[in-house]
A and B are shown apart, each in its own frame.
Chain A
Amino acid sequence: MKIFSLLAACFIFCFSSPIDAQFNTKINLESGVSFDLLNDSNKTSSIHKIFGNFKYKNKRANSETSLSFKFRPQFFDNSFHSIKLGGTGTFLYNSDKILWKSYLSLLHHNYDLSLISSYYSTFTFINGIEFDILKDTPFDFSLGYSYQDINFDNSAEWDMVFMDSKINNYYDQYLSWSYGLFVERYDSESKLKNTDKLYKTIGWRYGPQIQLRYLKSFLFDVGYKFLFYNSDNLANPSYEHQINFLSGIVINKKFSLFLLIDFFIVRTKLKDELDNLDEYLFIPTKNENQIYIKTAYKFSKKSSVYLKFGYFRENLYLDSSKLDGLNLLLGIELKI
C-alpha cells in the first residue's frame, strides 16, 4: 500500500493550493434496530452508526481539486462491528471545449465478527474527458485502473482495467438521458484456506448502459447496466444486471423524502464445476444491495434530523456469508 500512499501524496502535492480553499465537515449519528442480521432470522439487534466526512476543496477559475476523508464505524449489539475508511481525491480542469478529470480513491473496509475478521481494500485511479460531440450532446469518456484486495481465511486479489463511455442527450433543461458502453478486463488470483493452491482468472466484462433523469419539482433518476462475462472459466451465457433508481422531493425547503433502489443480480455458470470455486472466480462487482427510504427535516443549514428505513445485503466474501437485514434508523446530521 506504500505506493498508493505515495500516489495520494503526489496528487495532493501537485493539485492542491491554499488559494480559495474550502473545508467542510459532516457528521451523521444514527441509531436504530436491525432485523435478521447475519442470516439469523427472527433476531432483532440494535445498530449504531457514525458517518464522518471531511472535505477540502480548492477552486480556481478553470480547475477544481478536492480531497476527502470518510469513516464509518458500525456496531451491532456489541457482538459484531465494522469500520470503513476512505480517502478520495479529484482534479478537474476545464479548457474551452474539454473537461479533463482525474480521480484517485483508497477504500478500506474491516469486519470484526466474534470468531473471524476480514478486510476488503480497493485502490482506483481514473482519467477522463468530457466534450460535445454534437451541439448540446456531451460525450463522457474514462479510462481507469482498479486494484482490490479481499482477505479473510481465503484471499483474492483483482486487477482491473476499464473503459467507460456515455453520450448524453437533453429534451430540455429538466429531462435528460444517456447511453453508452462499459468494457473491462480483469485478472485475479485467489487462494483458498488450508491450501497453497492459486487460482487465476482472466476475463472480460462488457455491455451497454442507459440512464434517464428528470429533475425539476421532483427527482426521478433511473439507470440500468447489462454486462456479459467472457473468461477462461465461465460458460456462456454469464451476465450481470445492475439497476439504480433514485427518486425524491423537497417540500417547503424543510422536509425531504427520498427512495433509493440499488441492486445487482449476477448469473454466471462455470465451465468446470470443480472445487466449488464459484464465489472466487467472479469479480466482486459490488458488495451491497440496498433499498432505502429516508425522510428528513432540516432545522437549519447546518443540522437536520431524519428517519431511514431500508433493506441491505452486504457480501462478506466468506463462504457465502452475507450481512443482511432490515433496519430502521433515527439519525442526526451536523455540518461544521
Chain B
Amino acid sequence: MISILINKNYLLTLFFLIILGFNIYGQENQERKYEELKQQLVLEDQKLNSLNNLLKQKTDIISIEKSKPDPNEDKIQELLSSTANLTNSIDRSQLRINKLLEEFDSIKAELFVIYSERIDSVNNSNLSEDEKNKRNVELIEKRLLVSPQIDLLSFQPEKVVNIPSSEDSTEQKIYKEYLASALDEVEDKLTRIDELKSEIENIITLNEESSLFLEEVEFDSDIYSYTSPNKTVTIENEPTDTYGGDRFVNAENSLKTQTTSFSKILNQLKLNSEIKSKTFSLSSTSHKRNLYEFKELMDQVEKQLSDYKIVIRNKLKNQ
C-alpha cells in the first residue's frame, strides 16, 4: 500500500486530480456567481426603468399642472418632493447597477481565463483535432458568452451560440442558411484580420529594428537629437528612447499617429464600438493605444472569430 502511495505516477495523478477538482469547483462557483449577477442586473435594470418611467410621469404631471391658468401650488410642491425622492432612488439604483456591472465584468474576465485554460489543456492533449473540437465546443460557446463583445459581425453572436437543433425541415433550412451566411462572414473577417496582422507585425518589426539601429549608431550624437523634425515621443512598451537617444524615433510610435492609424484601420474593420472588459479594453475614440495593443486586439478578435467558426461549424453539422 505504502509503495503504491509513494509511486510517483500515482502521486502525480492524484495531484492533477486535486488541481482539476479545484478548477472545476472554481469554475462552477464562478458560473453560479455569473448567473446570479446576471439576474440581479436584469432585476435592477427593470427597477431602474420603472423608476425612470415614474419620474417621467410625475414631471409630465408637474408640467401640465404648471401650464394650467390656476396651478395648484400645493400639488406641485408635493409632486416636486416626491420627484426628489425618486431622483435619489434612481441615483442609488444606478450606483448599484454600476457596482454590479463592475463585479459582472470581473467574473466574466475570471471565467474567460478559466475556460481558456481548460480549452488549452484539451488542445495540448494528444487527441485528434476532431475530438479536441468536440470536447471544446461547449467551453468555446461559454467563452464566447463571457468574451468582450466586438461589434464586428452583422449577425448576433448570442443567437448563433444559442441556436437550437430542430427536427422541422423548414426550420432546419432557415437555420442552416443563417449559419452558412454567418460562417462566410466570419471567414471573410478572419482573412482580412490575417492581412492586417501581418501588416502590423511588419510595421512593428521595422520600428523595432530601426530603433535598435539608431540606438547603436547615434548614442554618441549630440543633445540636439530631440529637436530633430523626425523626433517624437512614444508610450509603447518596446525598447525605444523617448526624446533623447534616437533622432528618428518613430512617428508610428507617436501616440497621436497611432491613434490616427488605428481609427483608420478600425474603420476598415467596422470595429468602432467601444469594447471594455477586464481582459481587454479599447476605445476607438481614446488616444491611449498603440500598435502593440492594436496587435493584441487583432489577436483577440482573431481568437474570438476562430471560436465562432468552430461553434458555427458544429451547429451546421448538427442541423
| Interface residue ranges, A against B (CB under 8 Å) | 22, 24, 26, 28, 51, 53, 55, 57, 59, 61-62, 64, 66, 68, 70, 72, 84, 86, 88, 90, 92, 94, 96-97, 99, 101, 103, 105, 107, 109, 122, 124, 126, 128, 130, 132, 136, 138, 140, 142, 144, 146, 148, 162, 164, 166, 168, 170, 172-173, 176, 178-180, 182, 209-211, 213, 215-219, 221, 223-225, 242, 244, 246, 248-250, 253, 256, 258, 260, 262, 284-288, 290, 292, 294, 296, 308, 310, 314, 331, 333
A103 and B244 contact, Cβ closer than 8 Å, known pairs A223-B228, A286-B224: yes
Contact: A225 with B228, CB < 8 Å?
yes
Q: How far is the CB of B243 from chain A (nearest CB, A)?
A: 4
- Bound state CA distance, A24 and B201, in angstroms? 21
Asked whether B222 is an interface residue with its Cβ less than 8 Å from the other chain, the reply is yes
A290 (CB) vs chain B CBs: closest residue: B217
B262 (CB) vs chain A CBs: closest residue: A173
**For this complex, into which size category does the number of interface residues on chain B fall?**
35 or more
Bits for B238-274, please: 1 = Cβ < 8 Å to A, else 0: 0101111101101110111100111111000000000
Asked whether B206 is an interface residue with its Cβ less than 8 Å from the other chain, the reply is yes
A148 and B223 contact, Cβ closer than 8 Å, known pairs A99-B287, A130-B233: yes
How many contacting A-B pairs (Cβ < 8 A)? 206
| Interface residue ranges, B against A (CB under 8 Å) | 199, 201-203, 205-207, 209-210, 212-224, 226-230, 232-233, 235, 237, 239, 241-245, 247-248, 250-252, 254-257, 260-265, 286-288
Contact: A92 with B235, CB < 8 Å?
yes
Q: How far is the CB of A148 from chain B (nearest CB, A)?
A: 7
Interchain residue pairs A-B with the least CB separation, the first 3:
A138-B256, A173-B261, A211-B229
Q: Which residues of A contact B222 (CB under 8 A)?
A: 284-288
Q: How far is the CB of B293 from chain A (nearest CB, A)?
A: 11
A208 (CB) vs chain B CBs: closest residue: B229
Q: Which residues of B contact A223 (CB under 8 A)?
A: 228-230, 248
- Bound state CA distance, A258 and B248, in angstroms? 13
Contact: A215 with B230, CB < 8 Å?
no
Q: How far is the CB of A261 from chain B (nearest CB, A)?
A: 11
B243 (CB) vs chain A CBs: closest residue: A103
Contact: B265 with A173, CB < 8 Å?
yes
Q: Which residues of B contact A294 (CB under 8 A)?
A: 213, 216-217
Contact: B213 with A99, CB < 8 Å?
no
Q: Which residues of A contact B228 (CB under 8 A)?
A: 209, 223, 225, 242, 244
Contact: A164 with B226, CB < 8 Å?
yes
Contact: B242 with A90, CB < 8 Å?
yes
Contact: B203 with A216, CB < 8 Å?
yes
- Bound state CA distance, A164 and B230, in angstroms? 12
For the A-B complex with A94-B288, A216-B199 known, give 8 more contacts whose Cβ atoms are closer than 8 Å. A103-B226, A103-B243, A128-B233, A168-B254, A168-B256, A225-B228, A294-B216, A333-B212
- Bound state CA distance, A292 and B217, in angstroms? 8
